[in-house]
Amino acid sequence: MGESYFDGGLLQLIGWKLLGALIILCTFGICTPWAICMIYNWEISHTVINGHRLCFTGTATGLFLQWIKWFFLCIITFGIYGFWVGNCFKKMAGSTYRVCKLKFLQNTILRRSKSLFGSSRGSYF
């Protein structure tokens, strides 16, 4: 079983959050889904679980369309659906990442670099 860790830094997180807030302020909230997806992408791409790095697969368009759906459901139900929107958002956010296939590529690149620089263990295959 591999290690699980987060390799992002606090200053990077603060920078991404400030950039997201700046995008939201400059566009008067229109690009909020894009800013949220940008921050989630950074958080998820710096997460490793059991030795496998996670990749973000969500899109700002998908989030925007979900927001429109949730808005209309809130209108139709006179705001009652609003109690479930937070859970729906978390459910959607939880389904927008997967395990990257980069582990294989990282190992292949590492083996090739070792063979190029004279390590006796490395080979191309």
Render pLDDT for 86-117 as a digit per residue (tens, 0 to 9). 888 888 887 777 888 755 455 544 445 444 44
3-class DSSP state of 52: strand
3-class DSSP state of 55: strand
Per-residue exposure over 109-122, b if at least 16 CB sit within 10 Å of its own CB, e if not: eebeeeeeeeeeee
Render pLDDT for 18-30 as a digit per residue (tens, 0 to 9). 999 999 999 998 8
Is residue 18 exposed (0-12), middle (13-18) or buried (19+ Cβ within 10 Å)?
exposed
Residue 124 has pLDDT above 60, yes or no: no
pTM attached to this predicted model:
0.69
Question: Is residue 1 within 8 Å of residue 50, measured between CB atoms?
Answer: yes
Percentage of the chain modeled with pLDDT above 70: 80
Residue with tokens 């989630």: 40
Cα distances from 108 to residues 4, 70, 83, 115, 118, in angstroms, run 21, 44, 48, 11, 16
